[in-house]
Amino acid sequence: MSDEAILIELAHAVAAAIGRRDVGLLAGVLAPAFTHRGDGGVTADATAFLDGIRAIPGEIAFVRLERVDADVSGDSAMLTGIQHARLTHDGQRIDDRRGFADFFVKSDGAWKLRAAADFPAASA
């Protein structure tokens, strides 16, 4: 399997793990010194990122990728695309689409997520 195919499969697994609040799987994918950047310049390390996943409010129906593209260069790769999450919170159904950019590095033969950023997708 090509690195591109492995990374795309891994990106889908990460999205599904977020939907299940599976911080164990997510922790295993994160590289040392992982950084997440969100709306308004908010930055989180691995611990804060995983705490945020645990604290997602409401009932998550799914988190999945509508689009993912991978650009691989040696032992690093940039993945970009659109993540779609659906959840119910306080009786309201919420559909959230976010653009994302994930930077992966290969460490000891395994791809690890070194940095991630997400931002609200532009309305159609």
pLDDT in tens, 47-104: 999 999 999 999 999 999 999 999 999 999 999 999 999 999 999 999 999 999 999 9
Q: What is the residue-averaged pLDDT of the chain?
A: 95
pLDDT at residue 124 is higher than 60: no
Closest CA to 53 of 85, 77, 78: 85
Closest CA to 38 of 95, 113, 116: 116
**What's the pLDDT score for residue 123?**
63
**What's the pLDDT score for residue 41?**
82
Domains annotated for the chain, with CATH where assigned, are 3-120 (3.10.450.50)
As a whole number of angstroms, the distance between CA 112 and CA 106 comes to 6
